[in-house]
Structure 1
Amino acid sequence: MKKINVKIIYFLSFLLTSIYLLWRVFFTLPWNGSLFQIIFGILLILSEIISSFTAFIFIYNKSKFKEISEPKVGKKSFPDVDIIIATHNESYDILYKTVNAACHIKYPDKKKVHIYISDDSNREYVRKLAKEFSIKYISIENNKHAKSGNLNNALKQMSSPLIANFDADMIPFSDFLMETVPFYITNFKKISKKNLSKKIKPLGLIQTPQSFYNPDIFQYNIFAEKKLTNEQDFFSREINVLNNSSGSAVYTGSNTLILRKAIDEVGGFPTDTVTEDFELGVLINSHGYESMSTLEPMASGLT
């Protein structure tokens, strides 16, 4: 009964929105106004049509949504993982929290977890922090391509089949790897079976939600920290998970576990864009990999 009611609501939303857009197009354009009014009237209607189209996509994905559950795998099958923390001008206190949490991540064999600080400015206090936690420090002399250049430089010194990446202000939860790595193990096993190898796409990346422990500017400015959700958190937990139906979840740049082979196949992190995370995810999809987004936050940081 509940599913029928939801479908009725979806249908009514589509019908009423379509009627509204038709009314806007045929009865509200200021044809008798100035050229300025006509041009901007058309632009406004086009923006409404595009906005409605994205809403229809959201409804369609919502109707196809299926919850994913963490697969159960043996602890002996967990592979090596590289954890990379990319830094750019963050304070010692912020970076300390992230590194400390990364060093306390759970894993069946902690020797298989390799943690790197990737520093784009050769800062001495970052080097000392890495030494304090006995993790590996990677620096770059001339960071020509910003974050992408920093990450690509670090990749040259890493070799594990899986890479977990975190922004410097994102504090990973201790269960991050235990919640994400099993998806890859299961995917590897399915692909290795001859009768499934052609039907199953290799898993390129798993995106866990972007979660924040401080309010964003919108929440803060209208004093609504406890009433409104963070916009990025809404995208991660309400929209991005719906992309699982097509295997094309958006890569949002942190709190992610990525297949190293997929990164190498697309040529590393893109350097000709300011949204290297989104583009890398698209490139990975275009090379035959699928991407997944989980529902529960596995890290929390500063918005």
Structure 2
Amino acid sequence: MSMRNKKLLYLCAFIFSVLYLLWRGIYTIPINGSIFVTTYGMLLWFSEILSIATAFIMIWNKESFREEPKPTVGMHVDYPDVDILITTHNEEVSLLYKTINACTFLKYPDQKKVHVYICDDMNRPEMSELARRFQVGYIGLEHNKEAKAGNLNNAMLHSSSPLVATFDADMVPYSDFLLKVVPYFSSDFKQRQNKNIGFVQTPQSFQNVDIFQHNLFSEKIIPNEQDFFSKELNILNSGHDSAIYTGSNTLFLRQAIVDAGGFPTNTLTEDFQLGIQVNEAGYASISTDLPMASGITPNDIASVLKQRIRWARGMIQSVKNLNLFFTRKLTWRKK
């Protein structure tokens, strides 16, 4: 389709969407009903407004998107020390075993520069033994009241490499994770792109089927429902140098975390908020489309609801904490 026809199609879609929303607001909201019915009708109309606005923002992002060039991998790239922080709270040893084992097989020009740490905020002897078995670092923490953010902040105090990778306990990194992601922080890439990279987010990828794939018997037909965000929306965010941090499979410039004030402890979604604070501190964030790790996604209704409620509550907290809609630290494109 030609660009002219695309613009005409988008214009028609916009006009008809506005007309539809006006019709819905004027003629269909039950203003003469009970308070409950009227409130429900207003909320439904508002959700439609948000949904249509989001769709047009995505169209605008997609049309203005320019693909981020990938750094070349070669021996000329400066490969600095990297800390691999694997957070755990109450996960089983068998789950951590796979993750730690994979981290010990990460390819790197100098293996002595890769420092793997189990960050255990329950200070469990079995986790300390697991670290000893794999000859990796162990950072225990007792009486942690600040959840994952407190665990990571404590780990930052006990590590020192200029690059920091964060992984959830169930996320198993691919062997070439560092070789693919570290070059984004090379001086050569930063000079060519004229941007200071704060972090690189790789997609959330999963070994098991999600609740929709499982219940619809469609694991070979439909993709994981989180793929749309990781491999589509966050790539578009990356076009504005404002990719969202999703908590795992990520490589940070340590100084970016420091300048952002550390992992925030005043929200349930410390990952989302930290990513924005890194952007506010003047750093760019990039999302890639190539999975570099694989984990386990919830596939029962109770776990999915718990996860999404936490995300929703945390996002509201973070938006409020950052005064996101009115802050002058971010451009409108990034917002």
Provide the rounded CA distance (Å) in 2 between the counterparts of 1:124 and 1:2: 64
**In percent, how many aligned pairs have the same letter?**
56
Provide the rounded CA distance (Å) in 2 between the counterparts of 1:29 and 1:231: 32
Q: Given that residues 149 and 271 in structure 1 are in contact (C-alpha distance below 8 angstroms), is that contact kept between their aligned partners in structure 2?
A: yes
Deviation of residue 237 (structure 1)? 0.3
Equivalent position of 2:214 in the other structure:
220
- Over aligned residues, Cα RMSD in angstroms? 1.9
Q: Given that residues 249 and 292 in structure 1 are in contact (C-alpha distance below 8 angstroms), is that contact kept between their aligned partners in structure 2?
A: yes
Tell which has more relative contact order, 1 or 2 (C-alpha 8 A, sep 6+).
1
Equivalent position of 1:64 in the other structure:
64
Q: Does 1:154 align with 2:155?
A: yes
Equivalent position of 1:206 in the other structure:
200
Candidates 225, 246, 250, aligned match of 1:256: 250
Equivalent AA in structure 1 for residue 161 of structure 2: S
Candidates 212, 230, 250, aligned match of 2:224: 230
Equivalent position of 2:178 in the other structure:
177
Equivalent position of 1:54 in the other structure:
54
Q: What's the secondary structure of 1:292's corresponding residue?
A: strand
Spell out, residue by residue over 1:10-44, the C-alpha distance to the aligned partner (whole angstroms, 9 max, x if none): 33332322221122122222244344333322221
Spell out, residue by residue over 1:57-93, the C-alpha distance to the aligned partner (whole angstroms, 9 max, x if none): 1111111222223212542511111111111111122
Spell out, residue by residue over 1:125-177, the C-alpha distance to the aligned partner (whole angstroms, 9 max, x if none): 21111111111111002112111111111100111111011101000001111
Equivalent position of 1:102 in the other structure:
103
Spell out, residue by residue over 1:267-293, the C-alpha distance to the aligned partner (whole angstroms, 9 max, x if none): 211111100000100111111111110
Equivalent position of 1:296 in the other structure:
290
Equivalent position of 1:40 in the other structure:
40
Deviation of residue 6 (structure 1)? 4.1
Q: What's the secondary structure of 2:153's corresponding residue?
A: helix
Provide the rounded CA distance (Å) in 2 between the counterparts of 1:202 and 1:293: 14
Equivalent AA in structure 2 for residue 257 of structure 1: L
Provide the rounded CA distance (Å) in 2 between the counterparts of 1:261 and 1:31: 54
Deviation of residue 182 (structure 1)? 0.7
Equivalent position of 1:124 in the other structure:
125
Q: Given that residues 71 and 186 in structure 1 are in contact (C-alpha distance below 8 angstroms), is that contact kept between their aligned partners in structure 2?
A: no
Deviation of residue 4 (structure 1)? 4.6
Provide the rounded CA distance (Å) in 2 between the counterparts of 1:124 and 1:292: 37
Counting matched residue pairs gives 296
TM-score, L = length of structure 1: 0.92
Deviation of residue 203 (structure 1)? 0.8
Equivalent position of 1:17 in the other structure:
17
Q: Does 1:29 align with 2:29?
A: yes
Equivalent AA in structure 1 for residue 30 of structure 2: P
Q: Given that residues 102 and 175 in structure 2 are in contact (C-alpha distance below 8 angstroms), is that contact kept between their aligned partners in structure 1?
A: yes
Q: What's the secondary structure of 2:139's corresponding residue?
A: strand
Equivalent position of 2:313 in the other structure:
none
Equivalent position of 2:164 in the other structure:
163
Query: 5+ residue gaps in structure 2?
Result: 298-335
Equivalent position of 2:94 in the other structure:
93
